[in-house]
Chains A and B, each alone.
Chain A
Amino acid sequence: MSNIRTFAIPQLYDLIDRPRLYKLLNSNRDKQLILVQGQAAQGKSTLIASYLSRYVLTSTSDSLGSESLKIIPVWLNLSQRESDHTNLFDLIINALLQTNIVGNIKALLPATLGAGEDSVRKTDTLISILDSISTPVALVLDNLESLDNSASSYQLIQSIINHTVKLQLFLISREFPPLNIAKIKMEHGSLIIQNQDLAFTLEETEQFLKSHYKPDNSQNCAISLDVVKKIHRITEGWPGGVALISESISRLEVSLSDSKDGGVLLLNSNVDSMPIHLTSETLDYFSNEVYSFLPENVKKFLMRASIFDEIDEEMALNLCDTQNGNEILTYLEKRNLFIQRLIYSRATSKFTTLNNHPPVCYRFNNLFKQFLFKALIKSISSEELKALNIRAAQLFEKRGEIELAVRYYLDGQDYNMASDMVKKCATDLIVRGRFTDLSEWIEALPQYLVNADPWLIYYLTVTRRIRGGKRNVEDFLTALNLFEEIGNIRGSMLATAHLIEAAVFVRKSPSKILEWIKKGESLLLNLTESHYFNYARAILWQQIAFGYIAGEVDILKGLSSCKNARILAKRVKNREIELNASIVMAFGYVRAGNFTGASALLHEIEPLTNEDIHPEYRVLNHIIRVDFAIKQGDFKRAEDYLQESETDVERFGLIFLYPEFIELKAMHRIYTGRFKEALSIADHLCDFSILSGNNFYFGLAHHIKAMTHYHLGCFNSFKNIDSDSQDLFREAQIESEKSLSLFNEKGEGKGGEDSRFFAAKTLHGLILMRQQYYEDAKIELLEAFNYFDTGLSSGVSWCETKAALGLLDWREHQLNQLNSSKELYLDRAKKQILTALNRAFEEGYERFATISPADFSQIVLLGIAFDESNSLLKALSPLITGQQHQIAYITNLLSSFYLMGDLNAINRLKHIYRLTLPKVNIKTLGGFLVSINNQPVADNIWEGNKPKLLLKSIICHNTREVSKDIIIDDIWPDAPMKSGEKSFKINLHRLRKVLEPDVNKQVGYSYITMEAGRVSLDSELVTVDIDTFINLAKQGYESLARDEVLLALSFFERAAECYMGDFLAEESYEEWIDLKRDSLKRYYIEMLMVMARVYEEQEQPFQAVEYLKKAIQADPLHEEAYQNLMIVYADAGMVKAATALYERWRQIAINELGVEPDLETQNIYKKITALNVRRDRVVKF
């Protein structure tokens, strides 16, 4: 009855008020799971319905004292059909949609390219929706015991339990459900209410009997406590039992007698004759007790009503042959006898009531319903029962409730009508993913009927579209043949569409898939009226596209078919087909290596979907992100995306994306130097290729191997392992030739895998270039470039092939130095490399896909050298910075440009050369230490102390443009001028050799430069700790001036950490150092005093104490620091520490300076002492 189902709290008559249980529930309203488990008629649903009504509807003044909370109740009455997760999913989603708490639920039915478990998709979708809801929901799953024990729905329910969402889940069940709730129980996230909790206490039993048993309002009646006790004992507090006894005895003969309390009802009914223990198993007995007293027409009505799950006024009137069915139902409901009233909202109801009252519907207690149904089949013949079912089916059909009509036609064995009804609602069921119902109904039809009807075969096969495997191909083919026999074009189109899909799913050969694609294309071509069958045409185009792309037939044709499918889907406003076609198209782009196109398309369809619910979309996005991350050199991010993609591909059976994922994984390993892993992945791709019977992947595997050998060869050649490199390049060439041959087999020029074929050609050209087969390399690279120049693929391939051609021209230029064509080569190299790099820079490519880092660096260096505008220097120099292995190549390049006499290029290369040199760090605070590339320079390298002193002198005079005279005066003050100059030169040379042992003669010394007798340290290459210290302190003062106190303190703290001791403390006899040392120390102490003040203002006395102590440690005679520290101590209540500090300072002042502390210090001391005395007095009083 899903189409008219309601999800409001059922209206149940309370047996009695149960404040103890409401309080229990209310005190557990933070719990994610409430499980109410107990026998039938134990008042489980009544309790939760009653509690939720109060909890949600009461205001702040309610009896529970709780605040009115915005929580939306959603009540679901489950039946066996919800055992299937699809039906439960459908029910929950419909319920949530009715509450309006979920906004626009995008594409609830996922596109499916994979064969993974559907329940996983549904679970992900549901969790995603629940995550997005704005208002908390109380989701009640009533009659949970109706689900089969092995129901797939339990997985869905378990995921709700496991996932923290804005939802309180109420499970109401007779049995303990097969769910794992141990974890949530351990985390105190659940409340379990069971039989013993639900059972009436004696007081509750008495309360119920007194309130319920009112045979005559005119009489002042009562039940004696003994009877109450007895009833309580035999029912063990079972509310259903208490209600039944009450009902039963009210129908027996009772007598009244006076008592001392006045009119007291004495029950003479034979309570003693009742069973000793009354449980739900004895319900039949009492059902009979109640039932047998009913008039015949009522009995007849109830029996007939038992064939329905829910019954409304119209059904009662039309199907149960009674005028007063509604009255009977109302009577039973008010007596709380086995019936629940459900109120349908008008918005969801498809029918109107007879008297314009809100439509009301009833549901029997399951046990009572079974009791009634047993009575029914005893009282009427099977033919009569069939007729009753058929009448019900006809009513439902008339009311447009087709799914119910199917069920009752099936029960009435009117299979022709059932078949008609199935066909009527099949598409809707398919769209909603309710495959279980559809397949069960079709399978319930006689086999001969199904076998003769292509629609039934088609629909049945669609229900197992994902997991049907090879059988689907046969069955869709059977349907197609039958459709063709009867000339049904729409059916033929749909069957062909699904046939193509099924063939792709089971990895049929491309030629077989093409055969059915051709069939589909011919159907589309022969369709004379273009406006007919838009849906079928759209789906057929989509599946043709899928066949072309995922079936590895022809990517370009696939992309074109995707476009057709998308246009048609938009025209018929079918978002699912539009989304699926778009995803297939994005997949096609990825297969073609056009990641930019794929990314743009996925961005475009983002409003149709989201990553949470469409794994295909998510994986494609991830694959594109991996590609981008790799191109940006962010390998960590790429690795994360790869891991997520791997999980999704396996979890959702996305076999078509597997090779793409594997290829990217291998590329990632190559770029990160994990060559062995890359080769092992390539082997795995070979296995995949063999298993899928597809040589293209074999080609891809060889391409990966060629890439690996080429990259490893380049890597080794940097390390000067040239012999190994050449072996590797030869190996790369063999693999590359194999991949080209296999890609070629696939069909060069057919448009299938062209971009990959030509990318393989680029690689082949690069490998040949490395082996100095320049002519062959040029042929390969030119062929590739001509293809990429047509604009069919992404710009990155164009750029790298163009750049590779430039590199090749440069190599030829080098080789033909004595030849007249050398200028031509140079000119071409310059043009090609600059064009490639400028475009790459404009389009944001920081890496190329195929070219090894070594070859890429050479291209970048050449680009920088060639670029007269200097724009590439700034843009590309970060790619070279710190790459010391480039030094040899830059040196070679410099030689070439020296020969050409291009001074500007030489200067640019020199600049780059400097950037590749290791960095020098000089520590002067708390001990002198020079480190190159974080490696300390050993003492024996220095050739004496003078080079060190020379460096110290440069540092003392602020490192920039220090006059050599000043340095000579510092180090050799007494030497004659000539001798001083000579010593300076010798020691400057020694110093430079220490810092730069392998100096490049063309570039000269880089770390220490001298111009016009002034010496400087290169600020980009050399870092001195005092500069860092002063810069940090300055930033601290600047932040403080802007009132950014926390930022200021952070800078100061870092500066304080830098000051690890006095400046060049080991040089205690050099006056020129003393001045600098004192100045730095003053600066340091001043900063510490400021820090202490700021911390004190921030009411952080302990930090203030810490920095004041540091100030005293740096200068033990700094009286102001003592004063401030005394004040901070006193303010913090540490008077003793303050006075002790004063005494300490007094001793130091007398001993070191021969004076008493300053008057101000003494005053501070006195004030603190007075404070102490006052405190003492206070204590004494």
Chain B
Amino acid sequence: MLKVLVIDDEKPILSMFRLFLTAYGYQVDIAEDGKTALLLFEQEHHQIVFTDLKMPGIDGIEVLRRIRNYQNFETQVIIITGHGDMDKAIEALDLDASDFINKPVEKRALESALQRAEMRIKQNIKTMGNIIEKRRAGSTLYLEIYGKLIANPSFSSLDTLDSQSLRLSSNSIKELNIKFSDDFSINRVGIDWLVEFISSIRDSGVNITMSGLSYNYIRFFQMVGIHKIAHIVEAKDE
């Protein structure tokens, strides 16, 4: 049974999380502040941590930082973000937050975050490094993005691929299909690169479609405005 820690300074939120996560079959601990949470974490080494960002005293970012310092990348830390917390959310992603969910938390968002966290735990994914694979079929270029997009990505194929080279070949490419793997995550630099990359391609008249994104990343990309540049395909439920 996986151990989950939920940190939020609002007691009703904690009660609600505890009820749901217990029903889902997790062993749940709750903490109303960062200090208590870290003490609990030191004792129990929870595999999954949900933390609110804004809390008095030690806030969610600091909790994340200390967990990362405490034991590197083994715990899946999922950030709970409120409206207008975009900067903080990105800061959390820079600190290797595994995922994030928006308040008020939707059932799909919670389940998606849990599913991804469990998958990463099972596969022991360390959320480090990234790779992009490229394949072309006719006038469609397929890119698959794996791991954490944290900087100018490296490509598995021998061809170099950047916006410049794409632009050069864009005469023959009409569609760009980007598929994100299950272990995909991103940080601030990665977002900047991605936005610049797809913007420049879109400027060349190429239609861009994104798929494979988790429910939470779709919401996140919408907040960042990527959905205005690319068509994002949502996965079906159940």
Interface residues of A (CB under 8 A from B): 115-116, 464, 467-472, 505-507, 509, 512, 646, 649-650, 653, 655, 658, 681, 684, 686-688, 690-693
Contacts and interface: CB of A to CB of B under 8 A. Distances in A.
Nearest to B14: A650
Given A512-B238, A650-B15, A686 B22 contact: no
Interface in B1-30: 1, 12-13, 15-16, 18-20, 22-26
Contact of B24 (A470, A649, A658, A690): A470
A658 B110 CA distance: 19
Given A690-B105, A691-B106, A469 B13 contact: no
Interface size class of B (residues with CB under 8 A): 20 to 34
Contacts of A658: 15-16, 19
Most chain-A Cβ atoms within 10 A of its Cβ — which of B103, B106, B107? B107
Nearest to B15: A650
11 contacts: A469-B25, A505-B23, A507-B20, A650-B19, A655-B23, A658-B15, A684-B12, A684-B16, A687-B16, A688-B16, A691-B106
Contacts, number: 70
Contacts of A646: 15
A941 to B, nearest CB: 51
A658 B15 CA distance: 10
A693 B104 contact: no
Contacts of A505: 23
A115 B24 CA distance: 9
A650 to B, nearest CB: 6
A655 B19 contact: yes
B23 A653 contact: yes
B238 A467 contact: no
Contacts of A681: 12
B231 interface: no
A691 B107 CA distance: 4
Contacts of A690: 104-107
A191 to B, nearest CB: 32
**A interface secondary structure, majority:** helix
Contacts of B105: 687, 690-691
Q: Top 7 nearest A-B pairs by Cβ distance?
A: A469-B25, A693-B107, A655-B19, A684-B12, A653-B22, A469-B24, A690-B104
Given A653-B19, A655-B19, A687 B13 contact: yes
A119 to B, nearest CB: 12
Nearest to A468: B25
A318 B104 CA distance: 68
Interface in B98-143: 103-108, 110
Contacts of A688: 16
A692 B24 CA distance: 12
Nearest to A694: B107
Contacts of B106: 690-691, 693
A691 B106 CA distance: 5
B107 A692 contact: yes
A467 B25 contact: yes
Contacts of B26: 469
B23 A469 contact: yes
A686 B13 CA distance: 11
B25 A470 contact: yes
Nearest to A509: B238
Nearest to B27: A467
A509 B108 CA distance: 11
Contacts of B13: 684, 687
Nearest to A684: B12
B114 to A, nearest CB: 9
Given A467-B1, A650-B15, A684-B16, A506 B104 contact: no
A693 B108 contact: yes
Given A512-B238, A684-B13, A692-B107, 7 more contacts: A115-B23, A470-B25, A506-B23, A681-B12, A688-B16, A690-B106, A691-B16
A664 B19 CA distance: 18
Interface string B21-58: 01111100000000000000000000000000000000
A115 B104 CA distance: 23
A650 B26 CA distance: 14
A473 to B, nearest CB: 10
Contacts of B107: 507, 690-693
A36 B16 CA distance: 44
Contacts of B23: 115, 469, 505-507, 653, 655
Contacts of A115: 22-23, 25
A693 B19 CA distance: 15
A358 to B, nearest CB: 46
A646 B16 CA distance: 12
A950 B96 CA distance: 87
Nearest to A505: B23
A658 B19 CA distance: 9
A511 B167 CA distance: 49
B186 to A, nearest CB: 25
Most chain-B Cβ atoms within 10 A of its Cβ — which of A472, A512, A692? A692
A683 to B, nearest CB: 9
A505 B1 CA distance: 16
Contacts of B1: 467
B20 A655 contact: yes
A472 B103 CA distance: 28
A468 to B, nearest CB: 5
Nearest to B23: A115
A688 B18 CA distance: 12
A622 B20 CA distance: 22
Contacts of B19: 649-650, 653, 655, 658
A653 to B, nearest CB: 4
B25 A687 contact: no
A509 B107 CA distance: 11
A560 to B, nearest CB: 26
A224 B64 CA distance: 73
A467 B2 CA distance: 11
Nearest to A508: B238
Nearest to B13: A687
A116 B22 contact: yes
A532 to B, nearest CB: 34
B37 to A, nearest CB: 18
A733 B24 CA distance: 38
A512 B107 CA distance: 15
A704 to B, nearest CB: 14
Contacts of A649: 19
A474 to B, nearest CB: 12
Contacts of B238: 509, 512
B28 to A, nearest CB: 9
Contacts of B15: 646, 650, 658
B154 to A, nearest CB: 36
Contacts of A506: 23-25
A466 to B, nearest CB: 9
A490 to B, nearest CB: 27
Contacts of A686: 104
A691 B25 contact: no
A686 B238 CA distance: 23
A417 B1 CA distance: 30
Nearest to B106: A690
A423 to B, nearest CB: 25
Interface in B177-224: none
A471 B25 contact: yes
A464 B108 CA distance: 24
A653 B21 CA distance: 10
B216 to A, nearest CB: 14
Contacts of A472: 25
B9 to A, nearest CB: 14
A928 to B, nearest CB: 55
A653 B24 CA distance: 11
Most chain-A Cβ atoms within 10 A of its Cβ — which of B13, B18, B22, B107? B22
A467 B105 CA distance: 22
B24 A691 contact: no
Nearest to A662: B12
A658 B13 CA distance: 13
Contacts of B16: 658, 684, 687-688, 691
